[in-house]
Amino acid sequence: GAAAQTLYAGHKVMDAREKTFKKNRAIIQEKFGEIHRNEIGDHIKMSASGYPDMGNNIYSMVLPHKAWLMINNAQRCHEQLISRLPILYTACFVSSLCYPKLVLVLLANYITVQSYYILHYNSKGFNRAIGMEETANLIILLLLATSFGSSLKILGVTQKLAKYSPVAWYRRRKLRKMAKTIK
């Protein structure tokens, strides 16, 4: 699910690049075509998708503001999704060893929130997507806490600490009283 979202966001980046750089190809060619031919040569053509420009380089400087904003929003949305994947996958794996149903619920919520995040970021910009980004951060934080709890459970720490809990103290006290009444 999360990997598919990252691929989808990458597709949105390519859509934005195609729309932006193809539409403004004449401007870029006029400004940088001769420089490119002189320094690189005619054997390597300028990229129709604007590469190696990632939204903040020399090609983007000549784009209209709206086109520049569209490509940067798509690029940053994709980058944000990719940067979360290692944390998400690690937390999901460790958590699912002890709490698979909880991980399934949290991951389903994460995927839903991220889907809306991609749509809003690419259509309305960061300001409209910040609530969903913070919600996704909260879900990842919950997954990390769950993975910490899962780690403690796997190591047996929770069983060792259980004998010091108020519930365990109450049960021991109750058992002692029952033992006295039996004698």
- Identify residue 174 by its one-letter amino acid code: K
Segment of 122-131, 132-141, 158-167 carrying the highest mean pLDDT: 132-141
Residue 63: CB atoms within 10 A of its CB come to: 22
96, 27 contact by CB (below 8 A): no
pTM above threshold 0.85: no
The CATH architecture annotation of domain 2-182 reads Up-down Bundle (1.20)
Neighbours of 34 (CB within 10 A): 10
pLDDT per residue over 25-82, tens digit each? 777 777 777 777 777 777 777 666 666 666 666 667 777 777 777 877 888 888 888 8
Mean pLDDT (the chain, rounded):
81
